[in-house]
């Protein structure tokens, strides 16, 4: 399959077969992560491979109980690693203060995602599937404790991988015209914005299960794997909050705005525990 078709057909996979990934493929995953572009080619990246039962179980817990993390035969923890670089600079009689520099942080996080996406595409081309697990960023302290991650290293993204048993269909995306701007940014008006998202999700249907397949595929997958009644709980919450449209569903049920903002404190505290002062301003 050509690369365009491969990328267009890729879906996040959460239903994995009970099948190991050959060592030669795992080695290729690590190789393509290491071959990814990197700002200044500094490569502030470390990857922890999690394959044993205990490590998988802990990772599933720390991802907020996502069952596919436990089932995936391999999860790769992508760490933003300034420990190695700071030490190297020190050994070379100079100084690296990436942990204090927003510039270094942003570039390093982009590096990390470029590396992870290389793995996603290679996996897809080899008949494997993957899913990002971003929720681990809410548990940086516990992640660092369990996986013995030192100071100046932040585990910020996980990619769970395995052979797909099934793949979700019809995940909605914005039309390409919506994300496209020619030469300069063209500010969309209210009607265009409303239409862009209505086109993407459709209206909230009477048949909530069908709606959730499009708008909250994780709930459908969780129900299938090991959380019966998950959808029932989502439906109840939708009723309780009187959800009338897609935006309300996203920002009241899935990512309640107050909770998301409140998480700042927790995440920034974890950053500080790891020696990062990225978001403070000094004259």
Ligand X SMILES: Cc1cc2nc3c(=O)[nH]c(=O)nc-3n(C[C@H](O)[C@H](O)[C@H](O)COP(=O)(O)O)c2cc1C
List interacting residues with ligand X (CB under 6 A): 11-12, 14, 66, 131-135, 171, 217-218
Q: Which is nearer to ligand X, 96 or 118 (CB)?
A: 118
Residue nearest to ligand X (CB): 134
Quote the least distance from Cβ 173 to ligand X, whole Å. Answer: 7
Q: Which is nearer to ligand X, 85 or 217 (CB)?
A: 217
Quote the least distance from Cβ 182 to ligand X, whole Å. Answer: 25
Crossing angle for the helix pair 217-225 and 230-240, nearest 10 degrees? 140
Q: What is the DSSP letter of 22?
A: P
Quote the least distance from Cβ 131 to ligand X, whole Å. Answer: 5
Quote the least distance from Cβ 17 to ligand X, whole Å. Answer: 17
Q: Which is nearer to ligand X, 38 or 66 (CB)?
A: 66
Q: Which is nearer to ligand X, 217 or 274 (CB)?
A: 217
Q: Which is nearer to ligand X, 11 or 195 (CB)?
A: 11
The C-alpha atoms of residue 40 and residue 45 are separated, in whole angstroms, by 13
Using the CB atoms, write b or e for 79-113: b if 16+ within 10 Å.
Answer: bbbbbbbbeeeeeeeeebebbbeeebbebbbebbe
Using alpha carbons, list the distances in angstroms from residue 253 to 172, 200, 235, 239, 260.
19, 18, 10, 10, 12
Quote the least distance from Cβ 275 to ligand X, whole Å. Answer: 24
The C-alpha atoms of residue 105 and residue 81 are separated, in whole angstroms, by 10
Opening angle at CA 144, ends 163 and 86, nearest 5: 110
């Amino acid at each position: 399959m050509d690369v365009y078709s491969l990328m267009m057909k890729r879906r996040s996979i959460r239903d994995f077969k009970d099948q190991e990934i050959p060592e030669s493929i795992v080695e290729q995953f690590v190789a393509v992560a290491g071959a990814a572009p990197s700002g200044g080619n500094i490569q502030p990246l470390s990857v922890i491979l999690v394959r044993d039962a205990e490590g998988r179980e802990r990772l599933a817990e720390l991802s907020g109980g996502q069952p596919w993390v436990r089932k995936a035969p391999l999860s790769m923890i992508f760490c933003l690693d300034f420990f190695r670089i700071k030490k190297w600079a020190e050994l070379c009689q100079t100084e690296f203060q990436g942990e204090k520099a927003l510039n270094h942080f942003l570039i390093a996080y982009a590096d990390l995602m470029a590396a992870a996406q290389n793995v996603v595409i290679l996996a897809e081309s080899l008949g494997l599937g993957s899913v990002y697990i971003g929720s681990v960023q809410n548990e940086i302290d516990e992640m660092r404790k369990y996986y013995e991650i030192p100071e100046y290293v932040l585990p910020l993204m996980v990619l769970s991988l395995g052979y797909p048993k099934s793949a979700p269909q019809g995940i909605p995306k914005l039309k390409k015209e919506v994300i496209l701007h020619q030469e300069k940014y063209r500010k969309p008006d209210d009607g265009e914005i409303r239409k862009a998202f209505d086109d993407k999700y459709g209206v909230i249907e009477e048949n909530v299960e069908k709606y959730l397949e499009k708008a909250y595929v994780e709930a459908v997958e969780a129900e299938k794997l090991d959380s019966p009644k998950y959808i029932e709980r989502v439906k109840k919450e939708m009723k309780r909050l009187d959800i009338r449209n897609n935006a309300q569903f996203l920002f009241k049920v899935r990512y309640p705005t107050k909770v998301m903002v409140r998480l700042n404190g927790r995440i920034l505290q974890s950053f500080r525990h790891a020696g990062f002062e990225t978001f403070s301003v000094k004259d």
